[in-house]
Every structure is written in structure tokens, then in C-alpha cells.
Amino acid sequence: MEYSWIYWFVAGFILLIIEIITPGFVIGLIGAACFIGGIVAIFTPNIIIQLAVFGVSLVLVFIYVRPIFLKYFTKKDQKKSTVDALIGKICIVDTEIDNVKGNGYIKDGADYWKAKSSDGSLIPKGSLVVIENMEGITATVSLKKD
């Protein structure tokens, strides 16, 4: 096919447009491999060679180029969710924590969280505790060591 290079370039262009709409560094890299296939198509009409070069370039682009794009174009400072950010915080016991009775609340600023003791001990109101884990909306806490 004498003009197969046009199909390669059109496919590559369309895939790059789709990449802009749905970023993820996958579709655009397939488009880049299409451009490489199009360059080969300019020099040889043999579709087998074009497809072979496309396949090899696709693998190479995913192995070498995608990690570079991911390194420079993804957010490094992913913020923790509110619940994950609580782990390790020091809070005040607002309501006595008693695992047997199933009651107890801690206060973190203006937020109140249901709490249970990590070792099953009774923790009195007003004590300082450290959040060790979050299970849903329940914090597992331990007394803060001096």
C-alpha cells in the first residue's frame, strides 16, 4: 500500500488526542509507536515490516519512555486521606474509653472519633492518647508515653 504511512500518522494523531482526554500515559504511547510505524511506512510498503517495527517500538516505548513520563508528570505529594492522616496523632480522651462497655471518644481539634484501647485497658477522660490505627470511624489508641 503506497499511502499506508498516512493511516499510521492519522492513527497516531487520534491516539494522542485521546490521551489528552484520558491521561494515563498509555494511549499516547501507542500513538507514538504508530508514528514510528508511519515513518517506516514511508520507506517500505511491506506491511509485515511496518507491523514488526510498530510492535518492537511499542514495547520499547513502554519499557523506556513510560517510566520517564510517570516520574516527571505524576504528583509526588499525594495527600493522605483524613482518616490516614490521623494515625500517629496525639488526641485527648473526651469520654472514658472502655472496650468492655464499647464506649469511648477522643477529640482531635473540632472532630470527635469513636475510640477503643489497643491493649484493652481503661483510659480515663482527659488522658492524652496516640492513634495507632483507624478502622472505619473507630480509632485504636494507646496512652501517650511521657
Backbone angles phi, psi at 89, to 5 degrees: -75, 155
* CATH number, domain with residue 106: 2.40.50.140
132 plus 89 within the same structural domain: yes
CB 50 within 8 A of CB 11: no
**Residue where one domain finishes, among candidates 73, 98, 132:** 73
Question: Do 66 and 106 belong to one domain?
Answer: no
Domain that holds residue 98: 82-143
Are 64 and 11 members of one domain?
yes
pLDDT at 57: 97
- Say whether both 68 and 86 belong to one domain: no
Same domain, 63 and 94: no
Predicted local distance difference test score (pLDDT) of residue 136: 85
**123 and 91: one domain?**
yes
pLDDT score at 113: 92
pLDDT in tens, 99-136: 999 899 999 888 899 999 999 999 999 999 999 999 88
Same domain assignment for residues 61 and 113? no
pLDDT digits (tens, 9 = 90+) for 60-86: 999 999 998 888 877 766 666 667 788
Domain count for the chain: 2
Q: Residue 28 and residue 30: Cα distance in Å, rounded? A: 5
Half-sphere exposure (Cβ direction) of 128: Cα atoms closer than 13 Å:
6
Q: Are residues 56 and 18 in the same domain?
A: yes
Same domain, residue pair 15 and 63: yes
Q: Could you say which of 29, 56, 73 is where a domain stops?
A: 73
For residue range 19-66, list pLDDT tens digits in order: 999 878 899 999 999 999 999 999 999 999 999 999 999 999 999 999
- Check: CB of residue 60 under 8 Å from CB of residue 53: no
